[in-house]
Amino acid sequence: MAVLSEPFRASYLEWFRTMRTGDLDDVDVPVMLDAAVTELETLQVGHRSGRIGEAGLAYGREQIRGLLEQVTTQGSVSAVTKNRVGRLIMDRFQPELLDLPGRYTQDWFSYHEAHWLDHFGQLAGRPGLQAVEVGSYEGRSACWIANHLLTGAGSRLICVDPFDQYEGQERNFDHNIRVAGCADAIVTLRGRSHQVLPLLPEDAFDFVYVDGSHQILDVLQDAAMSWRLLRSDGILVFDDYEHTLFPDSFGMSAGPAVRAFLALLAGQYELLFEDWQVALRKR
């Protein structure tokens, strides 16, 4: 999925390296902001022409936003410059509805649908399947899971999310699961995963999808708690494992934490696939 232009991507990586060493300053930031605005416009042109899909546009915008938000954490950048960056984030990244059924401002899931059908399609129609999703955002993946995998009688998906990304996020989630016709199959638990997952029964779930915080300790905690929820032969999927847009060294990928977790569980799982996402079956 081609997203960012090569020149901007090269600059993006260099800016992150500069921030990691604490060397970014007020002279560097205006150049970054001009480039970010130009790249955002390039993404929109690519999307309108059909070269970039909804998922690509969402990921590209998120990559640029992540870069700008990192600038606001830099001690080497003045408060005036941080305020300028903050205003650009507010101006350019207000949630806007995509041209999709439902009320979605992002589509980070459609890219995986065919891959999931190949690997998990055999779950469809099985009665009584129990699943958990950690990080549901606006319900895009939750609706797909409910309508394509949890189609057997008595199947249920528990969605865990704090719904604090933007005002109206939870309303959009509720609207989307109603429009998709799967509200009756979904139980929503509002809260952070480390608060909610311990309340769920252990060894009781057939499928767990983890797409929550990418902070390394949060990922490790979600992984450990999700593993305990799974029955034997249950499937655990982590998103953004090998995320080419968010390099591991920048702290924006789940990869390092997931690899550490898997090393501790050697011999206790079957690896189903390992690419942008990683999926395993509990033995």
As a whole number of angstroms, the distance between CA 264 and CA 254 comes to: 16
Q: Same domain for 147 and 229?
A: yes
Last residue of a domain, one of 58, 92, 126: 92
pLDDT digits (tens, 9 = 90+) for 133-190: 999 999 999 999 999 999 999 999 999 999 998 899 999 999 999 999 999 999 999 9
CATH number of the CATH domain containing 147: 3.40.50.150
Among candidate residues 50, 65, 92, the one where a domain is terminated = 92
* pTM attached to this predicted model: 0.78
Q: Does residue 44 sit in the same domain as residue 116?
A: no
Structural domain span for residue 15: 6-92
* Strand boundaries in 11-168, DSSP class E: 130-134, 156-161
Q: Is residue 233 situated within a structural domain?
A: yes
135 plus 84 within the same structural domain: no
Tell me the H-state helices in the chain: 6-20, 28-49, 54-71, 79-92, 113-120, 140-148, 169-179, 193-196, 216-229, 255-264
Shared domain check, 148 and 37: no
- Asked whether residue 101 is assigned to any structural domain, the reply reads no
Stretches in the chain below the pLDDT threshold 50: 1-2, 248-249
